[in-house]
Structure 1
Amino acid sequence: MKRLKQMMIFAAIVEAGSISAAGEQLSLSKSVISQNLKDLEHALGVILLKRTTRKLSLTDAGNRFYLQCKEINLIASNAWEQAQTFLNEPKGRVRITAPNALMETLVTPVIAELIKRYPDLKPELINADEQLDFMEHDIDLAIRVGRSSDSSLTQKRIGSFKDVLCGMPEFAGQQLGSIPYIANVWQGKKVSHTFVKENKEVQQFSTEAQCITNSFYSCISLLKAGAGIGVVPDFYLSKFADELVAVNSELILPSNPVFAMHPYGKNQPLNVRVCTEAITEQLTKLVAQSNN
């Protein structure tokens, strides 16, 4: 890095025509400029500039070296400009992971709109109910229910939703323990729910799942086929208004906080920020619609 700095200072001296003028352009003192030039010539073992009290002139070695320095400066300048284009408009790859239930209704409609708006944006979507490792899977943004224990991630709560214990209309009003339970794999075989009634009374419910699936869509299919009851996000349930209903509208489950997570700290890339903001807006809209 020190050599690159010295090369850039040397090129500035040549282009400015004097050490003093180069110092003014680079906001460095004349002594700092002179010392860097001296150190550079010493490291190279050649004289780059012939100096008199009135003017500077390139030696043959200095002229050849300057042409290389100029090329390096041009490459650095182009790299800087190209990198800054990412500040103006979201572009490039952004890999996003989310649970199946959130990906279809929350994430994909947002990404579809962003692709239309920003043709250089290249999203990659990974449906995964398990929490994938950011480094291993090269993830830029994760939308997850609940906080992560990984303290290296920047985590922002973007909203919340409620699960609804539902099934076919024929199960409405029946005793919960008498109906088979269809569980997602993250719930485990022994399922437990804490309901809060409208009068604030708390009711516990525990059962053993008769069927477990690692696919949210398989769970939905089983519920629609009348195999039993299970939980579905409130904003997703509206898609099946004629097929699935809350088995007991008085039993309300607590809110599930939704977080957006990324590994970039304060230097969040524009494409990640734009996706996060759009997903947050979509979640707010979905929850509002489900409450109407």
Structure 2
Amino acid sequence: MRYENESPLRLMPHMLVFARVVELGSFSAAAGSLGLTPSAVSRQITALEQALRVKLLERTTRKLRLSEAGTEIFAHCLEMAKAARCAQDVAERFVSSPQGQVKISAPKAFGKILISPLIPEFLQRYPKVDVQLMLTDQPGHLLDDFDLLVRITDMPPLGLAARPLCDVQHVLCASEHYLAQAGTPAHPADLASHSCIYLGETPSDSRWQLRHLETGEKVTVGVKGRFSSNHSEVRLGAVRANLGIGCLPIFTAAESLSSHRLVEVLPEWRYETTYHGRAWILYPPNRYLPPKCRVLIDFLAEKLAEPLPC
């Protein structure tokens, strides 16, 4: 076997064994601490000497003695061994104790209304973990941009681990003032004669699809109105301002419904949209998921499992 021009990286295991031999003073002691046989340790020292083309140890029947070159080389090998132990200590610290920054992306309204209010409690519970919450409705690239992603979908994407957070449904809402003036719809077809507040991003946004919760009957109705917006909190404000009947995610409308500022319209019908299903937290399918990510996943799943007040 040739050892000339050996890559330094390939020599590192031999160098660590050499440092251990010198530290413990014998091949057998080093072998015992490394889980090797004395002959395997001897072969690695020989391989290192041949690669470096210097004698490292003077071997006698009683003890080992470093050569002049071996003394200097041992100092470097010892530093490398110390660096390896430090790296191991850092890894163990991160594995045993959640710490560091977690970058998480969430849809704008969901992140602002549901996730953001939970962060202070999380930071208090885990004082060594920092959180960067990015609110965007554009899909990010896990690993490239974020540690964790929150997405609302019927089915999480393949290739990522996913944990459900909560169901996301939509409701139709209006103020009592508006309904007193315009009347209360008794059937989805009645919406065609009302002022409706919809997303307005695509032509299909003005065609509302509703499904009866008991019979499963489906109805599609074309709606119109003087105001539309692609942000649920803006639509919420418009509904509160008596501009009409709005389609809202339940998490956006929950507080206004529970405080009776708004009332649900057609409660026996479910408004269906692509922005429904479940909120999932997505993360790499990695069994070595950092504790900082694991505790945030567990925390959000615990908190968001609680039902919203309606």
TM over 0.5: yes
**Distance (whole Å) between structure 1 residues aligned to residue 39 and residue 154 of structure 2:** 54
2:262 aligned with 1:244: yes
**Distance (whole Å) between structure 2 residues aligned to residue 52 and residue 90 of structure 1:** 50
Structure 1 or 2, whichever has the larger Rg, is 2
- Corresponding residue pairs, total: 287
2:63 aligned with 1:55: yes
> What is residue 159 of structure 2 aligned with on the other side?
152
**Distance (whole Å) between structure 1 residues aligned to residue 67 and residue 97 of structure 2:** 45
Give the 3 Å change call, closer, same or farther, for CA 284–89 of structure 1 in structure 2: same
Secondary structure of the 2:234 match is helix
Which structure 2 residue ranges, 5 or more long, are not aligned?
1-8
CA offset at residue 180 of structure 1?
3.7
Query: Normalised by the size of structure 2, how large is the TM-score?
Result: 0.83
* One-letter amino acid of the structure 1 residue matched with residue 248 of structure 2: V
Query: Normalised by the size of structure 1, how large is the TM-score?
Result: 0.88
**Distance (whole Å) between structure 2 residues aligned to residue 195 and residue 143 of structure 1:** 26
CA offset at residue 134 of structure 1?
2.2
Secondary structure of the 1:259 match is strand
Query: Do the aligned partners of 2:192 and 2:223 also contact (CA within 8 Å) in 1?
Result: no
Give the 3 Å change call, closer, same or farther, for CA 124–264 of structure 1 in structure 2: farther
**Distance (whole Å) between structure 2 residues aligned to residue 227 and residue 237 of structure 1:** 15
CA offset at residue 100 of structure 1?
2.0
Secondary structure of the 2:266 match is coil
Secondary structure of the 1:114 match is helix
> What is residue 190 of structure 1 aligned with on the other side?
204
CA offset at residue 261 of structure 1?
0.1
**Distance (whole Å) between structure 1 residues aligned to residue 96 and residue 198 of structure 2:** 45
- What is the aligned counterpart of 1:230 among 246, 254, 260? 246
Give the 3 Å change call, closer, same or farther, for CA 167–243 of structure 1 in structure 2: same
> What is residue 112 of structure 2 aligned with on the other side?
104
Give the 3 Å change call, closer, same or farther, for CA 128–51 of structure 1 in structure 2: same
* One-letter amino acid of the structure 1 residue matched with residue 162 of structure 2: Q
2:185 aligned with 1:177: no
- What is the aligned counterpart of 1:132 among 140, 145, 149? 140
CA offset at residue 193 of structure 1?
4.6
Task: Report % sequence identity.
Answer: 28
CA offset at residue 150 of structure 1?
4.5
2:266 aligned with 1:266: no
What RMSD over aligned residues (CA atoms) do the two structures have, in Å?
2.4
> What is residue 82 of structure 2 aligned with on the other side?
74
Secondary structure of the 2:102 match is strand
* One-letter amino acid of the structure 2 residue matched with residue 173 of structure 1: T
**Distance (whole Å) between structure 2 residues aligned to residue 286 and residue 112 of structure 1:** 20
* One-letter amino acid of the structure 2 residue matched with residue 215 of structure 1: H
- What is the aligned counterpart of 1:213 among 225, 229, 233? 229
- The runs of at least 4 aligned residues of structure 1 exceeding 6 Å deviation read none
- Which stretch of the first structure deviates more once superposed, 268-277 or 188-197? 188-197
2:297 aligned with 1:257: no
**Distance (whole Å) between structure 2 residues aligned to residue 197 and residue 264 of structure 1:** 38
- What is the aligned counterpart of 2:95 among 87, 93, 111? 87
**Distance (whole Å) between structure 1 residues aligned to residue 224 and residue 37 of structure 2:** 76
- Which stretch of the first structure deviates more once superposed, 211-220 or 24-33? 211-220
**Distance (whole Å) between structure 2 residues aligned to residue 148 and residue 43 of structure 1:** 56
Query: Do the aligned partners of 1:153 and 1:263 also contact (CA within 8 Å) in 2?
Result: yes
Query: Do the aligned partners of 1:189 and 1:212 also contact (CA within 8 Å) in 2?
Result: no
**Distance (whole Å) between structure 2 residues aligned to residue 261 and residue 31 of structure 1:** 49
